[in-house]
Amino acid sequence: MKFKSESIISPLPDDALLSKKEGKWKINLPETYKEFIKKYNGGIPIKDCFKCNNRMYVIDRFLGILKITGDIDNEYYDIGVVKTQLDDRIVFDENLVGTELLPIAVLFAGDH
């Protein structure tokens, strides 16, 4: 997959930040996803369409994993920020431990 280089959000996450987020979300991210996010954090793909279940989708951009400081303009593309905004809609049982669903991209029309 190729990305628009200017769209990748720096600083790129390191293993320490990824481990901290995994602990906070009570999940283990797949190693392949961690390698992806360390290279293409928040990037916009050049080929942005994909087909799933006979429907076409358009990726506006992948979400990133950021150290939230309030100084980065693109913090609203952080997975944790989006997850917080969506929590009421994606957590179906308040007794669940961890994250049931983790958004990784913003699709056309604001879907995640």
Instruction: Report how many domains make up the chain.
Output: 1
Residue at token pair 């481990």: 19
Q: What is the pLDDT of residues 41-75, one digit of tens each?
A: 999 999 888 888 998 889 999 999 988 766 666 77
Give the per-residue pLDDT at 97: 46
What's this model's pTM, rounded to 2 decimal places?
A: 0.77
Give the per-residue pLDDT at 17: 95
pLDDT reading at 4 higher than 80: yes
Mean pLDDT on 72-87 = 70
What the block records as the tokens of 101 is 């669903």
Task: Compute the distance between CA of residue 37 and CA of residue 43 in angstroms, rounded to an integer.
Answer: 9
pLDDT reading at 108 higher than 90: no
CA angle 75/78/82 to nearest 5° reads 110
Structural domain of 16:
5-108
